Amino acid sequence: MKRLLVYIFIALSLSCSSGKKAYQRGDYVLAVNQAIERLRQKPDNSKSQEALKLAYPLAIEFLETQATSTIASDAPFKWKTAIGYYNQINALHDQVKTSPAALRIIKNPVSKFTEIGELRKKAADESYEAGIQAMMKNTRSDAIRAYYLFQETNSFEQGYKDVVELQHQAEYNATLRIQYKEISYRNRADWVTVEPIINNLRLPFTKFYTAEQAENEKAPIHHTMLIEVLGYNEANPTTSRSENNYTDSVQVEKTIGGKKVKVYDKVYGKATVFEKRVNARGLVQITIKELNTEKQLMVNEYIGNGQWSGTWSRCSGDQRALPERVRNGCSRQEPQPDSQEMLKMARMDVTRQIERSLTQFYRI
């Protein structure tokens, strides 16, 4: 509890910061943002006003210097980096413009919208060329990199050269294609179907095919996946029992000396509580191989578990002595296992396991 209070205090301190501490550390951009946020809550906060007045020109000077020195350098992606600095200046501009209290202090906030417009073509050029170079390396990881570089190019200049076509080609080159086959056998083999799980996976640069789909698309397959649904079983029920004696005092009405009075009588009861349990489990095995080499990449077994339990009681003596939870079971008949509920639980269990496993296996 004490630790929680400390965390809350820290969070409140940060949220209520005037920006002065960030200014003193030399983090002028953060100081400006914190000061403006504080002024939105308390427009007359003197510490925030002072922090904003001192930090804003230093933040602009720092960002402009960074942008200028980056442009003058031979650094990779220098135009994109410079745009990033100018974007920060524009973000501060918008923050000031949307805060009346801040605008009273910084009357003419600086913007770099025109400068960014002039740099976008150069940023598109450098991302495009880097994308071409990545594509030429002819590896999946470089194709993925090329895809994002072309995406970046298009964001700087819509429809730049043939970037849309190149992005599609990079995505095609980067995509890992898996052909899967599902086989069900043994008892209750229909307890789960893995195909819907496969179809619902949303993994970047990964695509799953049935044999028919792969044939129709003429897709180059990289992996094969064999899904074996190995059956489902319910174990025999197990029953446990416990016996308890109960004593309680209850208020009753008796006639004593010709008068009716309320007194407490002791009452006694006995209950035998039965609990029946059934466990169920189903098994799925997935084997993934590299198509060209037949190298085995993964063999995993997934066990889906389902459980059911039910209770009832056999009671004797005065039921008023029994606790309510026990008394409620006295009239209950021996329950029968809910097979459908167990199957549903096992199916959900194995579905979660397979989805998590394949997502991790094919994560980039």
Angstrom distance (rounded) from CA 213 to CA 209 = 6
Owner of token pair 């904003």: 52
Tokens of 216: 């129709």
Residue 265: pLDDT band (50, 70, 90) is confident
Tokens of 196: 């819907």
pLDDT value at position 251?
79
User: What are the residue boundaries of the structural domains of the chain, listed by start?
Assistant: 2-111, 122-174, 176-364
Q: What's the CA gap between 325 and 105, in Å, rounded?
A: 69
State how far the alpha carbon of 230 is from the alpha carbons of 55, 236, 283, 286, in Å: 67, 19, 5, 10
Nearest to 156 by CA among 227, 70, 84: 84
Q: How confident is the model at residue 161 (pLDDT cuts 50, 70, 90)?
A: very high
pLDDT digits (tens, 9 = 90+) for 288-336: 999 999 999 999 999 999 999 999 999 999 888 888 888 888 988 999 9
Which amino acid is residue 230, in one-letter code?
A: L
**What does the alpha-carbon distance between residue 229 and residue 291 come to, in Å, rounded to a whole number?**
22
Distance CA 215, CA 80 (A): 43
Residue percentage of the chain with pLDDT more than 90: 80
**Contact criterion met (CB below 8 Å) for 130 and 72:** no
Compute the residue count for the chain.
Answer: 364
- For every residue of 79-139, DSSP letters joined together read HHHHHHHHHHHHHHHHHHHT-HHHHHHSSS----HHHHHHHHHHHHHHHHHHHHHHHHT--
pTM: 0.77
pLDDT of residue 88: 97
Mean of all residue pLDDT scores within the chain: 91
Is the Cα torsion angle 68, 71, 72, 78 positive or negative in sign?
Answer: positive
Is the pLDDT reported for residue 213 higher than 50?
A: yes
Question: Do 333 and 318 meet the contact criterion of CB atoms below 8 Å apart?
Answer: no
| SS3 call for 307 | strand
Q: How confident is the model at residue 14 (pLDDT cuts 50, 70, 90)?
A: very low
pLDDT at 13 over 60: no
**CA–CA gap between residue 126 and residue 47 (Å, rounded):** 44
275: Cα separation from own chain's centroid = 38
Q: How far is CA 125 from CA 53, 119, 149, 153, 337, in A?
A: 39, 10, 11, 7, 68
Cα separation, 172 vs 206, in Å, equals 10
User: Does 248 score more than 70 pLDDT?
Assistant: yes
Copy the structure tokens of residue 317: 């003596």
Structure tokens given for 140:
């999946």
Neighbouring CB atoms inside 10 A of 283's CB total 19
Q: Which of 149, 151, 153, 145 lies closest to 124 in space, CA to CA?
A: 153
Measure Cα distances from 117 to 68, 95, 222 in Å.
16, 20, 43
Q: What is the pLDDT of residue 328?
A: 87
Band the pLDDT of 187: cuts 50, 70, 90.
low
Task: Report residue 210's pLDDT band, with 50, 70 and 90 as the boundaries.
Answer: very high
- Please give the pLDDT value at position 154: 97
Contact 109, 97 (CB under 8 A): yes
CA pair distance 82, 341, nearest whole angstrom: 60
Tell me, what's the pLDDT at 10? 38
pLDDT at 186: 67
Among left, alpha and beta (phi > 0; psi -120 to 50; other), residue 317 is left
Average pLDDT over residues 168-185: 95
Specify the pLDDT at position 259.
77
Instruction: Report the pLDDT averaged over residues 204-220.
Output: 94
